[in-house]
Amino acid sequence: KAGVTQTPRYLIKTRGQQVTLSCSPISGHRSVSWYQQTPGQGLQFLFEYFSETQRNKGNFPGRFSGRQFSNSRSEMNVSTLELGDSALYLCASSSTGDRSNEQFFGPGTRLTVL
């Protein structure tokens, strides 16, 4: 079974631009969560999608948004990029979103904002 995939793996953008990151969960998984990892703030939860609906949202500004498609693939978008948005963005999928199921993480997308 293929693992969680994230594209692109690396991205360089300039301030003010927008970016879209993609996450393909493990086949059959319906829940996708996104996390931001930075040296200063650590790992922070962005949002979770389950069956195309946002189920949970972290404390991030409205510039951060996401969506999930009918095949469970998810995208997150960051508009008007700031230097502080430079981070590793991780997504994780789980089979039903149920509390007892393990989350499988992707390799991450490294975003650099110049």
Partner 1 sequence: AQTVTQSQPEMSVQEAETVTLSCTYDTSESDYYLFWYKQPPSRQMILVIRQEAYKQQNATENRFSVNFQKAAKSFSLKISDSQLGDAAMYFCAYRERTSGSRLTFGEGTQLTVNP
Q: Which residues bind partner 1 (CB under 8 A)?
A: 31, 33, 35, 42-45, 48, 50, 55-56, 58, 88, 90, 92, 94, 97, 99-105, 107-108
Distance CA 81, CA 112 (A): 10
Nearer CB in complex with partner 1: 54/71: 54
Our CB check for partner 1 shows the closer of 59 and 70 to be 59
What is the nearest approach in angstroms of partner 1 to the Cβ of residue 105? 4
For partner 1, the closer of residues 58 and 75 by Cβ is 58
Considering the complex, what minimum distance in angstroms separates the CB of residue 108 from partner 1?
5
Burial classification of residue 39, based on how many CB atoms lie within 10 Å of its CB (0-12 exposed, 13-18 middle, 19 or more buried): exposed
Give residue 63's identity as a one-letter amino acid code.
R
Beta bridge partners of 76: 21, 66
Sign of the Cα torsion 64, 96, 72, 23 reads: positive
Nearest-approach distance from CB 75 to partner 1, in angstroms:
17
**What residue type is assigned to position 108 of the chain?**
G
